[in-house]
A = this chain, B = another copy of it.
Amino acid sequence: MHELRKDPIVGRWVIIAPDRITRPVNLHEVEPPLNDEFDPFLEGNEEATPPEILAYRNPGTRPNGPGWRVRVVPNKFPALKVEGELLKRGDGMYDKTTGIGAHEVIIECPHRETNLSRLSVDNIREVLWVYRDRLVDLRRDPRLIHGLIFKNKGALAGASLDHSHSQLIVSPIVPITIQEELEGAEAFYRYRGRSIFSDMIQQELATDSRVVLDSPNFLVICPFASRFPFETWILPKQHSSHFENVTRPAIEELGVVLKQTLRKLEFALDDPPYNFVIHTAPFDRQELPHFLWHIELFPRLTRVAGFEWGSGFYINPVPPENAAKFLRETSGE
């Protein structure tokens, strides 16, 4: 059984998910080759994945057959599994929990396309609706308190298949990055009575130098303290702490904004590997006045030195103002 373990010093949870590695030396291929031969995510290959959890389907088509537009299946090698009891236990000074949760794959299109940005806006909107639908469904399980939606694009960003897809991990704990944001944002709110995200949006709009894209309901920026070259955040202008409460007009617009942002990054950086993560508030909190859901996007470029995640000390050779200017001037059409 997989296990969640908490670092006693900093409170960071880690999923210990033993897979079928028999000898440690097998770990040592650093770049997993993307499988070019068989595409288990292709329409018609539905039997190559576990049975679907959700699919947006054309009328008259049947589950686990062709005729879908976006499809969700369990991860074949899940980090967390939904079966079993949530047992929180101590082990001397340490805390652990059974690895209860969900780990799903969102297959973003039925045909073989590697880039989300090349899908139609309508297709991207359906992907966003699927994200929302899965969170709404999974949050009903009282054992689960947080949903992390993320995308690994390209082998160097951690993808093991090149057919465009994203992932969802729903867990009984809050990932430390989200926890730290919640705490920082709450401290600011207590002190000033305002959302730090609103202040940030106001200042970024006034300064303008880090703005990549400004649409009626979304602001895309390279953040002031960007850890990585071309780090890019998509912030909704309407306050909302939970992504799953997103409105229909917001999704309509986000489809366009996400597509444009990705295309800008891809043109500017020659189709880089990248990750994005949707930061959203925990299920067990109601609407929070201090937290804003948002998307953080990181192209995976060179010169991301190795020690940075070990030390928390990031060195970024590209000032976000330069990155934003470049992205602003790069066509996203």
Task: List chain A positions with a Cβ less than 8 A from chain B.
Answer: 3, 5-19, 21, 24-25, 27-32, 79, 91-94, 148, 150-152, 156-159, 169, 171, 175-181, 184-185, 188, 196, 199-200, 203, 206-207, 223-227, 229-230, 268-270, 272-273, 275-277, 296, 298, 300-320, 322-323, 326
Distance in angstroms between the alpha carbons of A312 and B306 in the assembled complex:
16
Contact yes or no, A28 B93, CB < 8 A: no
Using known A-B contacts A18-B319, A203-B92, A268-B24, determine if residue A152 contacts B307 with beta carbons closer than 8 Å: yes
Q: How far is the CA of A30 from the CA of B319 in the complex (A)?
A: 19
On whether the beta carbons of A10 and B314 are closer than 8 Å, the reply is no
Instruction: Assess the B275–A185 pair: CB atoms within 8 A.
Output: no
Interchain CB contact under 8 A, A302 and B29: yes
A315 contacts B15, C-beta separation under 8 Å: yes
Q: Besides the contacts A32-B302, A79-B315, A169-B313, what 10 more A-B pairs have beta carbons closer than 8 Å?
A: A6-B225, A7-B223, A14-B315, A24-B318, A27-B230, A28-B269, A92-B203, A152-B307, A296-B310, A298-B310
Q: Which residues of B contact A320 (CB under 8 A)?
A: 16
* Identical copies of this chain, number: 2
Minimum CB–CB distance for A297 against chain B, Å? 9
Q: Give the docked Cα–Cα distance between A24 and B305 (Å).
A: 17
Bound complex: CA A268 to CA B275 (Å): 30
A-B contact pairs, 27 of them (CB 8 A): A7-B223, A8-B184, A8-B200, A9-B181, A13-B225, A13-B313, A14-B226, A17-B315, A17-B316, A17-B317, A18-B317, A21-B318, A24-B268, A27-B269, A32-B302, A79-B315, A91-B224, A92-B207, A93-B196, A93-B199, A150-B310, A152-B307, A157-B307, A158-B307, A178-B312, A273-B306, A296-B310
Chain B residues with Cβ under 8 A from A270's Cβ?
Answer: 25, 28
Residue of B9, B15, B180 touching A184 (CB-CB under 8 A)? B9
Q: Closest B-chain residue to A2, C-beta based? A: B315
Cβ A305 vs Cβ B158 within 8 A: yes
